[in-house]
């Protein structure tokens, strides 16, 4: 049971959580979120974020991969950088196995792999394939994952929470900032693509 609690079994994490009021319950979550944000801010440097952003901008193709809860963060990052990067791929895709996509990853590519617990069983095999591909890989995980020196970068995001669910505030904040740096460093070419997207939005009357 102790091992399952550490691994994030939600039912076991519910036990023993007593608070004085609804307000103090909320403040506990806010305080833990702030602590998680401070941790990622202290452990990930501006230089590393910019290295990843430049690698994404220079890549032949950017692959963003996430399973289970990690897929939501992968989808968010892909959606944001698509504004300036044309060749991005979000995995896994509906109705496909991974092999059809992983075979296409080359050393000219950049990959962002999310591995938040509880991790899907196939994550280890995917990681091995990415290493064999020769692509530059950013691995984003929670604090339970051991450092992986086989990837180009490994960013750790603390997910501690006072309740039964993991707190993913730091993961989203890091994803947001990485996307922001990609947009900022994309230069005139990126701004041109964004301008063309906005022009089509107006022509199709897509947004209010």
112 with 65: CB under 8 angstroms? yes
Phi-psi region of 62 (alpha: psi -120 to 50; beta: other; left: phi over 0): beta
- pLDDT at res. 22: 65
Rounded to whole angstroms, the Cα distance separating 121 from 107 reads 25
Stated pTM of the model: 0.85
Structural domains in the chain, sorted by start: 20-204 (3.40.50.10490)
Rounded to whole angstroms, the Cα distance separating 78 from 81 reads 5
- pLDDT at res. 2: 47
- pLDDT at res. 120: 83
pLDDT digits (tens, 9 = 90+) for 114-151: 999 888 888 889 999 999 999 999 999 998 888 888 99
- pLDDT at res. 104: 95
pLDDT under 50: residue ranges of the chain: 1-16, 19
């Amino acid at each position: 049971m102790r091992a399952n609690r550490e691994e994030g079994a939600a039912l076991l994490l519910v036990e023993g959580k007593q608070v004085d009021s609804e307000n103090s319950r909320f403040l506990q979550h806010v305080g833990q979120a702030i602590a998680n944000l401070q941790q990622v801010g202290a452990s990930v440097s501006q230089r590393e974020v910019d290295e990843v952003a430049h690698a994404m901008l220079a890549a032949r193709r950017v692959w963003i991969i996430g399973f289970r809860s990690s897929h939501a963060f992968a989808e968010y990052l892909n959606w944001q950088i698509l504004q300036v990067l044309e060749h991005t791929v979000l995995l896994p895709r509906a109705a496909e196995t991974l092999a059809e996509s992983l075979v296409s990853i080359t050393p000219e590519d950049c990959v962002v792999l999310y591995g938040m617990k509880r991790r899907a069983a196939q994550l280890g095999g995917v990681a091995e394939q990415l290493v064999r591909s020769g692509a530059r890989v950013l691995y984003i995980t929670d604090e339970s994952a051991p450092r992986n020196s086989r990837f180009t970068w490994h960013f750790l995001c603390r997910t501690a929470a006072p309740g039964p669910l993991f707190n993913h505030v730091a993961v989203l904040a890091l994803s947001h900032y990485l996307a922001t740096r990609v947009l900022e460093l994309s230069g005139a070419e990126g701004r041109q693509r964004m301008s063309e997207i906005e022009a089509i939005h107006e022509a199709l009357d897509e947004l209010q």
